[in-house]
Amino acid sequence: MDMAVRGNTRLKPVPKPDLQVVKPVKTTKYSDIDLNNWKDYGHVMTDSLWEFPARSRENGHSNEYHGNYIPQIAEQLYERFTKKNDIVLDMFFGSGTSGIEAINMGRRCIGVELKDELAESVSEKFTPKQLVTDVNIICADSASELAKEKIKARLDIMGEESAQLLILHPPYDDIIKFSDRKEDLSNCSSTEEFYDLFEKVAKNGYDLLEKGRFAALIIGDKYADSQYIPLGFECMRRMNEIGFTTKAVIVKDIQGNERCKGKDANLWRYRALAGGFYIFKHEYVMIFQKK
């Protein structure tokens, strides 16, 4: 602080302006999170146990389709692993959770859906303009070369060579039948065939994902023939063989996100006690990176 002096008279000090140093924004190549202000992102989860009290039904989301993943997962993944205007590629589009949240968060989305009738009904959730600029729905078998070529064409129209985030939320083998199509992973004749078809889908996604970017596998395990079948970890191994690096395995609590089981809950408890197994209350969100 300077003192102004006139003759022998000492004047009041003249304060210097309060100059605040503004740090430049510090982000990664795959996210808009400002690491200089990392404390402002308390809503972004960084631990490996995710618990949500209920499925979000706001901002265009609903629960009319059994088997879709909850919107909160998309919110977390998009903020951690995408930037504004990035393209999310969902190889099992289903009821459109990935596309709806892409619109909500300023991202774009390409979704591949096997069933014609579902692809048509889901398209009604978006405006005609959004279906041109922000959300592209492809009706195809996501394990096929045709699907891969269609995705490439959509990427070209959207001004990109690759997608920036890959979402994989396959059927959990044959637990829920989604259609009578032989290409449907829920109709595989064996779990080994399920793994093989899943690997083809994951390979298509890998080839269409930008280098250095991330993929998320949302999956649960199953219990059949008196034994536990770790679908998630075998799918993880298949993705590693393709070339993905595993970054995290998140355990997500599914209680409160399921449809009410009613009396079935007691039946399953009896079966667990009688059969020596435990009832699933979790699924996985597995995070991978393409080197």
Q: Is the pLDDT of residue 203 over 60?
A: yes
Whether 12 is in a domain gets the answer no
Q: What is the CATH number of the domain that holds 92?
A: 3.40.50.150
Whether 9 is in a domain gets the answer no
In this prediction, residues 144-151 reach a mean pLDDT of 98
Whether 83 is in a domain gets the answer yes
CA atoms of 87 and 109, how far apart (whole Å): 5
**pLDDT at residue 24, rounded to an integer:** 86
**pLDDT at residue 265, rounded to an integer:** 75
Structural domain of 177: 49-56+65-290
**pLDDT at residue 263, rounded to an integer:** 56
In this prediction, residues 268-280 reach a mean pLDDT of 91
Whether 120 is in a domain gets the answer yes
Give the residue from 162, 23, 49, 180 showing the smallest Cα distance to 115.
180
pLDDT tens figures, 104-114: 999 999 999 99
pLDDT tens figures, 156-181: 999 999 999 999 999 999 998 888 89
Q: Which of 27-36, 62-71, 176-185, 196-205 has the lowest mean pLDDT?
A: 62-71
**pLDDT at residue 208, rounded to an integer:** 98
128: tokens are: 């005609």
**pLDDT at residue 176, rounded to an integer:** 87
In this prediction, residues 178-187 reach a mean pLDDT of 91
Q: How many domains does the chain have?
A: 1
Phi, psi of 90 (to 5 degrees): -110, 115
Whether 138 is in a domain gets the answer yes
Q: Is the pLDDT of residue 287 over 80?
A: yes
CA atoms of 195 and 188, how far apart (whole Å): 9
pTM of the model: 0.87
Above pLDDT 70, what percent of the chain? 86
Whether 39 is in a domain gets the answer no
**pLDDT at residue 213, rounded to an integer:** 98
In this prediction, residues 66-86 reach a mean pLDDT of 93
**pLDDT at residue 10, rounded to an integer:** 58
Whether 32 is in a domain gets the answer no
**pLDDT at residue 74, rounded to an integer:** 97
What do you get for the CA distance between the two ends of the chain, in Å?
A: 54
33 vs 18, residue with greater confidence: 33
Q: Is the pLDDT of residue 9 over 80?
A: no
**pLDDT at residue 48, rounded to an integer:** 97
In this prediction, residues 92-113 reach a mean pLDDT of 96
Distances (CA, A) of 207 to 36, 72, 147: 33, 27, 12
Whether 181 is in a domain gets the answer yes
Q: Is the pLDDT of residue 222 over 70?
A: yes
Contact 194, 207 (CB under 8 A): no
CA atoms of 191 and 189, how far apart (whole Å): 7
> β-strands 163-168, 87-90: how paired?
parallel
